[in-house]
């Protein structure tokens, strides 16, 4: 049984969207605390932030922050996970669940409780889907092209750093998130391919469709190709 959840959120100058991310996580965490005795730790990794992101996190005492000078989303996620791991008994890593989302995204209320349910049924990895909250920065055909190719149902083929979770012992054995400027989530999923993986369409995370990404080759780059 999972005893503790660690949620890692990398952020780089996200003062505009970070409040919505944390507000959604607050609802999600409260659902876990209401339904179970599982403890939840949320770590926002402030990667080279020069805006008000640190102030926003400081205003939420239930959230921990970690300021780093990585300039790299994969390393930022890895450092956040390392902070969670450092606070957990190394002999009980199978009872720690690591989840990650993005600072420009909003998780659904059941995001963590569903992952816990999958873990209780033997899952080591949960890969979820995303949906876009606002297509306003793009021509109408971009949304149509994205939806026509995207599989939002159970068994989908996608991997998103905004919607991933795994058992900590599996994470450590797989080598964790690599210091990649993009696709660190895809790399981890590949390293975990031998583990019991659930590809769920039940817990979609709303994410930003902004035209200018904080990382090279991220979701914004994919949408740019569709344009």
Note the helical H segments in 158-218.
168-174, 184-191
Mean pLDDT taken over the chain: 92
Look up tokens 């750093």; give the residue. 161
Name which of 83-92, 206-215, 216-225 the model is least confident about: 216-225
Name which of 103-117, 129-143, 188-202 the model is least confident about: 129-143
User: What is the pLDDT averaged over residues 61-66?
Assistant: 97
Angle between helix axes 111-120 and 18-35 (nearest 10 degrees) is 50
CB 53, CB 76: distance < 8 Å: no
CB 116, CB 123: distance < 8 Å: no
Contacts of 133 (CB under 8 A, 6+ apart): 106, 206, 207, 208, 209
CA-based R_g, the chain, Å: 16
**What is the CB neighbour count within 10 angstroms for residue 131?**
16
In this predicted structure, what is the pLDDT of residue 136?
Answer: 64
Compute the distance between CA of residue 32 and CA of residue 108 in angstroms, rounded to an integer: 12
Which of the two residues, 138 and 94, has the higher pLDDT score? 94
Percent of the chain with pLDDT over 70: 90
In this predicted structure, what is the pLDDT of residue 143?
Answer: 78
In this predicted structure, what is the pLDDT of residue 134?
Answer: 72
The conformational region for residue 176 under phi > 0 = left, psi -120 to 50 = alpha, else beta, is: left
What is the CATH topology of the domain spanning 4-128+159-195?
A: Spore Coat Polysaccharide Biosynthesis Protein SpsA; Chain A (3.90.550)
Joined together, the tokens standing for residue 31 give 């659902």
> Which residues lie across from 189 on neighbouring strands?
none
Strands (E), 69-199: 96-100, 105-106, 125-127, 130-132, 164-167, 197-199
Please tell me the pTM assigned to this model: 0.93
Listed by start position, the domains of the chain span 4-128+159-195
Per-residue pLDDT at 209 exceeds 90:
no
């Amino acid at each position: 049984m999972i005893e503790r959840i660690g949620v890692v959120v990398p952020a780089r100058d996200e003062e505009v969207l970070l409040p919505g991310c944390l507000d959604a996580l607050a609802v999600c965490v409260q659902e876990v605390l209401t339904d179970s005795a599982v403890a939840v730790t949320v770590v926002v990794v402030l990667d080279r932030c020069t805006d008000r992101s640190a102030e926003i996190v400081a205003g939420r005492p239930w959230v921990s922050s970690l300021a780093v000078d990585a300039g790299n989303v994969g390393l930022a996620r890895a450092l956040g996970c390392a902070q969670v791991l450092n606070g957990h008994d190394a002999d009980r890593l199978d009872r720690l669940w690591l989840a990650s989302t993005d600072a420009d995204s909003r998780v659904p209320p059941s995001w963590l409780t569903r992952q816990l349910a999958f873990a209780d049924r033997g899952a080591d990895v949960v890969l979820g889907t995303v949906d876009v909250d606002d297509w306003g920065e793009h021509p109408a055909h971009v949304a149509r092209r994205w939806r026509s190719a995207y599989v939002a149902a159970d068994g989908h083929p996608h991997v998103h750093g905004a919607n991933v979770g795994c058992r900590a012992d599996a994470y450590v054995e797989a080598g964790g998130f690599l210091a990649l400027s993009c696709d660190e989530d895809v790399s981890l999923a590949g390293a975990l391919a031998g583990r019991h993986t659930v590809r769920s369409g039940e817990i979609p995370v709303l994410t930003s469709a902004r035209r200018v990404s904080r990382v090279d080759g991220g979701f914004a780059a994919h949408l740019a190709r569709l344009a």
